[in-house]
Amino acid sequence: MKNAYRTAMEWLYIVCISLAAVAMVVITTIIPYGVFMRYVMNSASAWPEPAGILMMILFSFVGGAAAYRANAHITVGTLLNMVNDVNRKRLERIGDIGMGIIGLFMVKWGVLLCQAVWQNTIAEFPSVSVGATYLPIPIAGVITLLFCIERLWLGQPPETSFTFRDQPQTE
């Protein structure tokens, strides 16, 4: 059971970083296109900016969940470096519980946000619901919760070619 969960979380992590990478590629493609059309061609396109914002929402929330699992998120290491190993483990566990609470917050309030604006549409994309554009928030909350469960139940994920660590890798 533990191995199956760990494997599932590794695949979920790979999906998250893949989605974040695709979103970043799309952003770096459409924003220069919008600038080119506006300032070189004198014919501004209305869609690149809102599309870039939608991709940034996806990148930020799904990529943030992946960064948490990879231990590449912003941390305050000074306090952790000042305490002994036992207290370090306690503080790390408290941090993981805090991330779980944040994940629950994202799920609850993200769903409420999506429901509140579901009937609205984006002017540049009339067939796209505003609520649908905010779906990455509760989805990333669920993903963060799953990664928190992994850490609290199984400990820190093992290093793979897809994860990043603070310490340099040694061979």
User: Over the stretch 37-94, which tens digit does the pLDDT of each residue have?
Assistant: 999 999 988 899 999 999 999 999 999 999 999 888 777 677 778 889 899 889 889 9
pLDDT of residue 145: 96
CA–CA gap between residue 154 and residue 152 (Å, rounded): 6
Q: How confident is the model at residue 165 (pLDDT cuts 50, 70, 90)?
A: low
Dihedral sign of CA atoms 5, 64, 15, 142 in order:
positive
Burial (CB count within 10 angstroms: exposed 0-12, middle 13-18, buried 19+), residue 104? middle
What does the pLDDT read at residue 53? Answer: 92
